[in-house]
Structure 1
């Protein structure tokens, strides 16, 4: 028996139409998370330095070749509702052999994504809660959260319907094992 699909409310349809019609000014990015349009400024240099550390290690050390996309829009189902969330992770990894990014539009489904990651910035609770729930609903196997405010790294795994069932948190400077398909130890000394 399949999931019950609900028709979108008029409010949800208006919000989605407004979101898709946005002409986001340069220097800003927009997401649709849990029926709310979120507009944020582009990140600072420290944020980007953390991203570079992760990308470099994943590309160099992963057991399988990975394709990376920064700021790739993902459409995430909302538990039976017709209007999906539109979320932009700081980084998205997919196995290169799947070629998922080639020919993908601005917003792609999350099927086939191996891991997303976020580096906290001006609204860290959004990365800690709302986005984590979105990625779990999308059945993305791994969510890596780099929390600059708490100086910690959390790897969420085993996605359920609304959240991840497992979380492993370590302080910056410690290493964390990334499971298959990555199968390597991510070093975080450069986050200090």
Structure 2
């Protein structure tokens, strides 16, 4: 993470959690890289992609669950708060954890890019690095602008060491500990 995270954070994690807890249900807030972020409202295609992925995970790994928008403590020393579009974990993993769950035990986080000017910085860099720093084994990025899936694996020292990308229409193999294969042809219908 950048040095500014600890040195120049806009607020403490505790202050952020108070603000996020008080925010109306129509606003989704995150605390990434020491900054308050407003997560864009997903469009219909975004929701369809998450539901497609949820079905794929359930069919291939029924002992796992893909939780949409589950809050996670991320970044070095868990100083960030993110709401990935999906967090894949064993069933019951988040029971009793409250609004911001521990990333230990999360097998994969998922982000689907939004059509806004901040998606490159947020999904391609900041959230990716936050998930790596938290030790999440796999980060799946569905990049609607590029029409591809990007799989990041092998987090070490706060960075994913391996990156694989495949275009929509290809079979995308998500390695262990996830161990599923995604037939991505349907995604062509959800990207405009």
The answer, yes or no, to whether TM exceeds 0.5 is yes
Indicate yes or no: 2:93 matched with 1:100.
yes
Q: Check the 8 A contact 1:93/1:116 in 2, yes or no.
A: yes
Q: CA deviation at 1:18?
A: 3.1
Q: CA RMSD in A?
A: 1.8
Aligned mates of 2:40, 2:180 — CA distance in 1: 33
Compared with structure 1, are the counterparts of its residues 109 and 13 closer, same or farther at alpha carbon in structure 2 (3 Å cutoff)? Answer: farther
| 1:68-147 → structure 2 map (5 Å cutoff) | 68-78=66-76, 84-96=79-91, 99-121=92-114, 122=116, 123-125=118-120, 126-147=122-143
Aligned mates of 1:111, 1:152 — CA distance in 2: 28
Which deviates the most, 150-159 or 181-190?
181-190
Larger Rg: 1
Compared with structure 1, are the counterparts of its residues 181 and 162 closer, same or farther at alpha carbon in structure 2 (3 Å cutoff)? Answer: closer
Runs of 4+ in 1 over 6 A off after TM superposition: none
Indicate yes or no: 2:170 matched with 1:171.
no
Aligned mates of 1:41, 1:143 — CA distance in 2: 19
Indicate yes or no: 2:185 matched with 1:186.
no
When normalised by structure 2's length, the TM-score is 0.86
When normalised by structure 1's length, the TM-score is 0.86
Aligned mates of 2:16, 2:125 — CA distance in 1: 21
Unaligned runs of 5+ in 1: 1-7
Paired residue secondary structure (1:102): coil
Unaligned runs of 5+ in 2: 1-5
Q: CA deviation at 1:34?
A: 0.6
Q: CA deviation at 1:41?
A: 3.2
